Amino acid sequence: MKNKLLSFTTLGFLLTVFIFLAVAPAWADDLDQKIKAIEQKLTRLRGEQMELKKDAVAAAAALPTFTYRPGRGATIEAADKAFSVNFFYQVMYFFYNATDGNDRRGSTVMDLHLRRNYPQFEFCLNNCFYDWGIRFDLATGLQVTEQLQWFDIHFEQMNPWFPTFTIADRTSHVPFPFVARSLLNSAQTELASDMLIDSQADNTAAGGRKAIALYWADRPIPGNLLPGDFTFDVEFKSGGGINRNVVADSNRKQFQGTFGLKPFVRSKNPWLEKIKWGIGLQADSVDSRSAAQGRRLQIMTQERGTLRVTLLDANTIGDGTHHRLETGTEWGYGPYLLRAEGGVSRFASGKVGTASDGFKGVSGGYWRIGHELFIWSPKGLLTGSASTPHSLQFGWAFERSQADCGSSAAGCAASSPATAGFTDFHRNRLINRDLALWYFITPAIRTGIWWWWYDSANTPRATQVQIGCTNNANVGLGKAGGKDCSWHTVNLGLEATF
């Protein structure tokens, strides 16, 4: 019985082996086919995945890019640079504080002044070959009158020796006279020329006020004579003293030229690379028939609002030629920068007689020597820069302006009311000593404090009361005009550019 059971078991096993051996080749072939099919499918999927990845990369590359640079704003730019849009905003809050004087006449404390409030939009086409911009000056007192536009054609993209062409209400492409304090970088908050206001000239340190201009900015010096750049700007303007958003009413136009050098900016020599020099000239002819020309030269302090004091006012200057020449130079090493600036305004007026004939031979000038030193940053003592967060900057400067209202039946002692001191003198000079300390929170945001110490050689009567030089509130009975006066303001500021 056992032998018979064993035989059946052996027979079944042999039958199973036989069937397996008969079927195995077919099963193996079928498995190979399935493996090959799977491999082909994987290969196809990999190819499709690569195509999808390429399409995704191409689609991403075709999308506009969004960039933000502190102090330069936010930019949306097409992938092929066919167009771009830049959004820029600058704001400055100043607290002016008169340490003495009469608040009823404007010498107040904690006087909040919106010194800058600039939203700006700039549009570019064809890799910025065409450039159009608009800026709104919404600072205190300017909310309605100041809308600034410009249109540029960048011919330098065709040839590096071709100029940029611009038509503008006002631009800041080329500073006048090329060397001036820089917003959000300099320890000096205001322009040196702000103490000698010439209504016939452009006191904004910016070319392009109602102008057609050609300029070559930061081009290599020809022939590699020096390892640096030059800048040249020439402008034709609607007329001297024709402000933005004002229609000219005279055929007497104005011409402006600016030339600047940074002769060693490419040298990589730390003792030379910050050297900078510039000169600018504005020339025109005064037209006494014009209601749009200012025809005015003033000595003023540098505050804005009610604290700003006018110390000489040669208004309604007579006919004749006018020119304003300004120049400046800079030198720096490491955390230190020295800047020297100066300028003159001259009116060769041809009329004199009664007061209505205007002033003849009006002239004035100014100069300033300023120092800036970064005294600390997280990197250590005597380190830092405007682009380094938490840098501390100290600045000090000395400035002098003077003017003479020439020959006239009237004096030019600015005063209010005009009967109190208007004819007290024909010339004046103003000195300002400037100390400042600025803390850079980020490369585009800083806060600071600065002290202005003024001295006027010939102070009008009403101004003496305003600045605290005399306590007599009745200017008609007060001390005579022409008194030497000193006064101070201590001011706070917050500046930001986005």
Q: What is the pLDDT of residues 22-49, one digit of tens each?
A: 555 555 566 677 777 777 777 777 777 7
Name the residue among 175, 495, 96, 221 with its Cα closest to residue 339.
Answer: 175
Query: 406 phi and psi, to 5 degrees?
Result: 65, -145
At residue 132, the 3 state secondary structure works out as strand
Which residue(s) pair with 279 in the sheet? 259, 327
Any idea what DSSP says for residue 35? H
**pLDDT digit string, tens, across residues 246-301:** 677 777 788 889 999 999 999 989 999 999 999 999 888 887 777 767 778 889 88
The amino acid sitting at 169 is D
Q: Going edge to edge, which strands form the sheet with 310-314?
A: 196-198, 297-300, 310-314
Distance of CA 146 to the CA centre of its chain: 16
Please indicate, yes or no, if residue 20 is contained in any of the structural domains. no
* pLDDT band at 232; cut points 50, 70, 90: very high
Residue 410 pLDDT exceeds 80: no
The amino acid sitting at 466 is Q
* pLDDT band at 421; cut points 50, 70, 90: very low
Distance CA 313, CA 292 (A): 18
Residue 463 pLDDT exceeds 70: yes
Question: Is the pTM higher than 0.85?
Answer: no
Residue 419 pLDDT exceeds 50: no
DSSP 106-121: T--SSEEEEEEEEEEE
Please indicate, yes or no, if residue 303 is contained in any of the structural domains. yes
Query: 492 phi and psi, to 5 degrees?
Result: -120, 150
Kindly report the number of other CB atoms within 10 A of residue 277's CB atom: 18
All residues at 6 or more sequence positions from 23 whose CB lies less than 8 Å from its CB, including other chains: none
At residue 316, the 3 state secondary structure works out as coil
| First CA to last CA distance, the chain | 103
pLDDT reported for residue 417:
41
Percent helix / strand / coil, the chain, rounded to 5: 15, 45, 40
Q: Is-contact 303 153, C-beta < 8 A?
A: no
Please indicate, yes or no, if residue 240 is contained in any of the structural domains. yes
Please indicate, yes or no, if residue 9 is contained in any of the structural domains. no
**pLDDT digit string, tens, across residues 381-405:** 999 999 899 999 999 999 999 998 8
At residue 223, the 3 state secondary structure works out as helix
Please indicate, yes or no, if residue 38 is contained in any of the structural domains. no
**Per-residue pLDDT averaged across 197-212, rounded?**
67
Tell me which residue range forms the domain holding 350: 66-497
Please indicate, yes or no, if residue 474 is contained in any of the structural domains. yes
pLDDT reported for residue 42:
76
Please indicate, yes or no, if residue 74 is contained in any of the structural domains. yes
CATH code for position 226: 2.40.160.10
Distance CA 360, CA 136 (A): 37
pLDDT reported for residue 406:
75
pLDDT reported for residue 18:
56
Please indicate, yes or no, if residue 6 is contained in any of the structural domains. no
What residue ranges in 383-474 does DSSP mark as E strands?
Answer: 391-404, 427-442, 445-459
Domain count, the chain: 1
Mean of the per-residue pLDDT values of the chain: 81
pLDDT reported for residue 263:
95
- Cis bond leading into 417, ω under 30°? yes
